[in-house]
Structure 1
Amino acid sequence: MRGLSAALAAAVLFAGAVVSITACAAPGNAQRALPTAAITIATQKGPVKLTVELAETWRQQQAGLMWRKTMAPDAGMLFDFNPPQQVSFWMKNTILPLDMIFIRADGTISSIAANTTPMSETPVPAAEPVRAVLEINAGRAAALGIQPDDRVRGAMFGNARD
């Protein structure tokens, strides 16, 4: 009987997870705005200040910027993967073209995937394990002079005051 109860509980949890994930898949189901934080990226052109939404939970990260129609030029979404890990993103159900900035634990930028294709299911992997990924409007990284090895400053990286 205990085995049957465990199996039933597992089935209910699985069904709930499927409903949660597919709820994000429908047009018009954009995730509500998340808590925000200020970050600064030290570039060769000078400091770049952004206000980013923090995607910290699994569910927030799964929904990401899906179905969002607009994003301010000085905004973005920062995905926290502490501890650092190998990650891969896709653009499924993401209407906005984005630049994906992969960030090491010390806040330095590992790599940038520029101008990702909206709605694409092609994986966009990090080149190495990363602490975070910053998504901003496509073309902004180049326009702002953001490059690999630039440093992101913020509370997440423990260097907000550096």
Structure 2
Amino acid sequence: MLTLCLSLVATMTAAQCARDAVTLRGDWGQARFSVEVADTAATRARGLMYVEEMPALSGMLFVYPDPRPVSFWMRNTLIPLDMLFFDATGRLTRLHPMARPRDETAIPGGQAVQFVLEINGGMAARLGIAEGDVMRHPAIGSDAAWSCPAD
């Protein structure tokens, strides 16, 4: 029975590190978001353009091959978004709340961004997400602030 329970816990923990999910953790607790991953130039360029609605705990994770300066805009984006910018370790370095739909003003993320999570506008404030929080996802390398468990 103990082996079964330990196996179930290991399975549940591994499921938290699925490609289509991001888990955030901070002083406020933790939350899991279902995500679409944008890890090619084409998918990053399209982003969430033309999406008319998105379930509450959903989003898009932009993955870059290495840390870099990034800037986003909301051209052709129809819903307000919170943009969360993370470094190579998965630590939240900048949060831009409530980006306005269709706004073409540049939203800079910083100089060493490797991951950007876009979620529904206002969700970060509702949950208490703040700079310094950490993200867990399989795309984060071995120097992750919050690692996925080994298989």
TM-score by length of 1: 0.75
Aligned length: 128
Q: Segments of 4+ in structure 1 off by > 2 A?
A: none
Deviation at 1:39, TM superposition (A): 1.5
Give the aligned partner of residue 127 of structure 1.
Answer: 110
Q: Once the two structures are aligned, what percentage of the paired residues are identical?
A: 39
Deviations 1:93-133 (Å, cap 9, x if unpaired)?
00010000000100100010000111011000012311110
- Distance, in Å, in 2 between the alignment partners of 1:126 and 1:45 is 23
Instruction: Measure, in 1, the Cα distance between the counterparts of 2:128 and 2:135.
Output: 13
Quote how far apart the aligned CAs of 1:38 are.
1.4
Residue 143 of structure 1 and its aligned partner are, at CA, apart by 0.6
Structure that is richer in helix per residue: 1
1:93 to 76, 79, 82: 76
Alpha-carbon offset, residue 148 of structure 1: 0.4
User: Which one-letter code corresponds to 1:83 in the other structure?
Assistant: D
1: CA distance, partners of 2:48 / 2:100: 13
**Correspondent of 1:54 among 16, 31, 37:** 37
Does residue 143 (structure 1) correspond to residue 126 (structure 2)? The answer is yes
Pairwise CA RMSD = 1.6
Distance 2:95 2:69 in 1: 15
Separation of aligned partners in 1, 2:51 and 2:22: 21
Q: Secondary structure at the match of 2:139?
A: helix
How far apart are residue 81 of structure 1 and its match? 1.1
Residues 1:161 and 2:127 are matched in the alignment: no
- For the 8 Å contact 1:82–1:132, the answer to whether it is kept is no
Structure 1 CA distance for aligned equivalents of residues 149 and 122 of structure 2: 28
Partner letter of residue 75 of structure 1? S
Residue 102 of structure 1: SS of its match in structure 2?
strand
CA shift, 1:58, in A, is 0.6
- Rounded Cα–Cα distance in structure 1 between residues aligned with 2:65 and 2:27: 27
**CA offset at residue 37 of structure 1?**
1.4
Structure 2: distance between partners of 1:70 and 1:117? 14
Q: Which has the higher contact order (CA 8 A, sep 6+)?
A: 2
